[in-house]
Amino acid sequence: MKRLAFGEKLPVDIPVTVTIGVFDGVHLGHRRVLTQTVDTARKLGAAAMAISFSRNPKASAARGCLISPRLLEEELINVGMDYHCVIDFSDEMSRISGVEFITALSSCFRVSAMLVGSDFRCGNPGNSLGVEEIRKTLERPEVGASVVVVDPLTDSQGQVISSSLVRAMLQKGEVTRCAALLGRPYCLDCRGVPFSFRAGRLLTQAGSFCEILPREGDYEALAVAEDGSSLEVELSVVGSCLALQLPEPVELDRIFFIEGVIR
């Protein structure tokens, strides 16, 4: 998969099938859209492209995210994306209208199809476009792209799977429910996170992660080292601190939350 900036031309002139979103957490609903984008691209003889943002347009810095940029790219590679286009969500970009965005998209790439959710909108809130307006723009003869709406996915309890639902479950410490929504255990990216080792515990501050942590409590986790080895550990979230019970210090790559026992 090749990563490029929005506005950067592809190295070869080929049609692309695109989907656009934050993909925060890459839950099963996101995976449905991403997978269908790849499948559609293969049927059309096009390249599959996911377009995301350098930061979540809807989230504050204090809110945090559900997946790091590095692990997001891993997920995109796993579903078979050919390109990952990243929009630098600057103040200038936040002000452009939906029409301006779709015009820039179709000028930069030879779009053959766009796959989006039914509630998708693009552009600043005051001048955004919804699905039907996007369809009218892209299906004009000079563009000739189709717009495919992907239905939302519900969980076993009948709730629509969303990043907001994943966040709500994390706030309750329900990491097994999160795993069901994500299709994999909730994960923290440990690359670049400073840890200290004291009295058989690996310690760090919650704010060291770009992802949000589950609520305070004790959890069963899988710690994966940078050398690929892994170890089942007990993990505690206490206030602003995260602590893992380990026999010796280790350079961690990521931590998976397996099960929680809330205090």
Q: Average per-residue pLDDT in the chain?
A: 93
Question: Which of the four CATH numbers 2.40.10, 1.10.10, 1.10.3470, 1.10.3210 does domain 186-261 have?
Answer: 2.40.10
Give the CATH number of domain 2-150: 3.40.50.620
pTM: 0.93
Q: Is the pLDDT of residue 62 over 60?
A: no
Domain boundaries, the chain: 2-150, 186-261
Average pLDDT, integer, range 97-116: 94
Average pLDDT, integer, range 141-152: 92
pLDDT band for 260, please (50, 70, 90 cuts): confident
pLDDT tens sequence across 71-104: 999 999 999 999 999 999 888 888 999 999 999 9
pLDDT band for 61, please (50, 70, 90 cuts): very low
Average pLDDT, integer, range 113-117: 96
Average pLDDT, integer, range 228-255: 95
**In residues, how long is the chain?**
263
Question: Which of 97, 155, 107, 151 has its CA nearest to residue 128?
Answer: 97
What pLDDT score was predicted for residue 114?
97
